[in-house]
Copies of this chain bind each other. A is one copy, B any other.
Amino acid sequence: MPCIVEILSVGNELLLGNTVNTNASWIAARVTSLGAAVSRITTVPDNLKEISHAIRESLRRKPDFLITTGGIGPTFDDMTLKAVARALKVPLRVDRIALAMVREHYARRFPNRRISLTQPRLKMARIPARAKPVRNPVGTAPAVRVTVKETQVFCLPGVPKEAKAIFRESASKAILAKTGGMIFAEKWLRVQGIMESSLAPIIDQIMAKWPKVYIKSHPRGVEAGGRPHIDLHFSTRAQNSEGAERAVLGASRDLARQIRNVGARISLKA
Q: Is the CB of A29 within 8 A of B42?
A: no
Q: Is the CB of A204 within 8 A of B118?
A: no
Identical chains bound together, number: 2
Q: Counting CB contacts under 8 A, is A170 at the interface?
A: no
The CB with the most chain B CB atoms within 10 A, among A14, A43, A77, is that of A43
CA distance A223 to B45 in the complex (A): 23
For chain A, residues 200 to 235, give those with C-beta under 8 angstroms from any C-beta of chain B.
200-201, 203-204, 207, 214, 216-219, 222-223, 233, 235
Q: Type the 1/0 row for A143-171, where 1 means its CB is closer than 8 Å to any CB of B.
A: 00000000000000001110000000000
Q: Is the CB of B25 within 8 A of A20?
A: yes
Q: Is the CB of A233 within 8 A of B13?
A: yes
Q: Type the 1/0 row for A127-153, where 1 means its CB is closer than 8 Å to any CB of B.
A: 000000000000010000000000000
Q: Is the CB of B17 within 8 A of A20?
A: no
Q: Is the CB of B197 within 8 A of A121?
A: yes
Q: Counting CB contacts under 8 A, is A98 at the interface?
A: no
CA distance A173 to B122 in the complex (A): 47
CB contact under 8 A between A219 and B18, given known A74-B200, A203-B76, A204-B76? no
CA distance A235 to B17 in the complex (A): 13
Interface residues of A, count at CB 8 A: 66
Smallest CB–CB gap between A94 and chain B, Å? 15
Q: Is the CB of B13 within 8 A of A38?
A: no
CB contact under 8 A between A17 and B38, given known A74-B196, A121-B197, A217-B75? yes
CB contact under 8 A between A39 and B28, given known A13-B218, A140-B197? no
Q: Type the 1/0 row for A1-34, where 1 means its CB is closer than 8 Å to any CB of B.
A: 0000000000011111111111011111111100
Smallest CB–CB gap between A98 and chain B, Å? 14
Q: List 25 A-B contacts (CB under 8 A).
A: A12-B216, A14-B41, A15-B40, A16-B28, A16-B186, A17-B25, A17-B26, A17-B27, A17-B30, A20-B22, A20-B25, A21-B41, A24-B43, A41-B43, A57-B57, A73-B217, A76-B203, A118-B198, A118-B201, A124-B197, A140-B197, A159-B219, A160-B223, A161-B222, A161-B223
Known pairs A21-B41, A40-B43, A40-B50. 17 more at Cβ < 8 A? Answer: A15-B38, A16-B29, A16-B38, A16-B186, A17-B25, A17-B26, A17-B28, A17-B38, A21-B21, A21-B24, A74-B196, A75-B217, A77-B216, A118-B197, A119-B201, A140-B197, A161-B222
